[in-house]
Structure 1
Amino acid sequence: MGRQIQFWFEFASTYSYLSAMRIERAAAAKGVVVEWQPFLLGPIFAEQGWDNSPFNIYPAKGRYMWRDMERLCTERGLPFARPARFPQNGLKAARLVLAIEAPDQKAAFVRAIYSAEFGSGRDISDESVLAECMQSANLPIEMLDKASDPNIKSALIEQVAMAKSHDIFGAPSFLVGEELFWGDDRLDAAISYAAQI
């Protein structure tokens, strides 16, 4: 399939929003294929003794992150609206990503979810928001039922286990072979690395 980069993202991750909105264009420019890999950070954080986002646990870090997001979104021409509740529950959305087979629709759905969440400040656990995102990705509304499919539920659990096996500790993370890159600010380096192998 050629040169590839795995994009490991969590829908509660602000910086994953930034990466999701530019990764395909940046990767295509260097002939790299993107694999979209949703996962959950909650179980990984729990193993580190955290029961919440580190941006909530450490207020100064949180204040910095929100201001940083404002600056970066303005710089990149992206809409930004801080959701009323953070982190949001992206469980259903992550399951739905795994249920989508076509890579272009998968990518479109992920971008739609992030745009709703951090571009418009909407609640992505709300079924009406999920339905709108499905429609914007040209997916049938009936696919919403896949969020409760036992096989899809198991697949997301496996995704978390796979993330742990690769020592992924945050999002966004990018995996090129066995080489791990963490953070939106490492996306370009990860793509360049993938283009060279």
Structure 2
Amino acid sequence: MSTPVRLLLGACLSLSVVAGCGGPQTAAPAAAPAPRAQSAAPPKQTVPAGQLARADVDRVLLQGPPWILRRVPVEEVVRAGAFIGWKILALPADWSSIELKTGDIVTQVNGTPLERPDDLFAAYRALASASELKITYEREGAARELVVPIFGAPTKETVEAFASDSPPRRATTARPKGTTVIEEDDGGAPLEGSAP
């Protein structure tokens, strides 16, 4: 299975998880109220239930493939010699409230079939400026669709990061010279059934 395929599917699933977990979301906690001034910034808005916060979409997209690939393993599904989609093999335990389940077969993201790496990256890039996340999938042979609106306008920084034909570079932490990192724990929850 190619990395771009897993990258896009994982990003989409991660975004749907953000929508399915925790109910209403708010932007960063507000500081103590400051005296009203004419040029005061608008108050932080609460994200309506069932919608994705634009900041969360940007955060997931900019995390890059390693963050996603550790959370959502998938496998290719082929029927009668034709590619159908990507079967979800496992989801982290703390993602149990999302609509997608282990065994579902994701066939499209925002109307784009997930057949070739070029299709996948195009759909992934489009999420940077999309107004909704739409995942078309199969469960037990029945077609289904998950549609989650994205609350907030696309950010210039994220749209620009995805303007080129290659993924944005992921920020790395500085390490002492001569350090070799073989595997790094980013604090994400392990998948069900995986060794701690």
TM-score by length of 1: 0.27
**Greater RCO structure (CA 8 Å; 6+ sep):** 1
Tell which structure's C-alpha radius of gyration is larger. 2
Decide which structure has greater strand share: 2
The structure richer in helix per residue is 1
